[in-house]
Amino acid sequence: MMKINRRTDYAFRVMLSLAKTPEGTRLSTHKIQEMMFIPRAFLLRIIADLSRAGMILTFPGPKGGVQLSRSAGLISLYQVWEAINGSLIISDCVENTNDCPLGEECPVNGHLIKLQEIIRSELNAVTFDILAEEATTLAIKE
């Protein structure tokens, strides 16, 4: 089964919670945890990963918190994916044709490469300003 792991899902939620706030607004980790239903242990590691990747800024102390490092429109789902998982590689043979016993003659390899590029392209096309807008629209309809 191919699926997005829990850490990546939680990272998307962290970024969405920040994207839904006005630019430059800080959220406490407690608030993010409450809003997005993320276990604290996961949340702290994800925040560290996103901070290391330069996507968020962290501010210690009682008036501290977390905020996006740049506009939500400049951060895509794929960038968050990479911050948490590294590059998206759907099969070892896509990364290295030497891993396939059929080598470059494998009829599946080219299709997997295309599929991988489609997935990357789609994840890159979705930015967090789009998701924040969609979240706001959905909240209004409820």
pTM beyond 0.85: yes
User: Nearest 10 degrees: CA dihedral of 34, 71, 9, 84?
Assistant: -120
pLDDT digits (tens, 9 = 90+) for 96-125: 767 777 777 788 888 998 999 999 999 999
> pLDDT at position 110, please?
85
Distance (Å, rounded) from C-alpha 49 to C-alpha 85? 10
Q: Is the pLDDT assigned to residue 127 strictly greater than 60?
A: yes
Tens digits of per-residue pLDDT, 20-44?
999 999 999 999 999 999 999 999 9
Q: For 72-134, what is the HEC assignment?
A: HHHCEHHHHHHHHHCCCCCCHHHHCHHHCCCHHHCCCHHHHHHHHHHHHHHHHHCEHHHHHHH
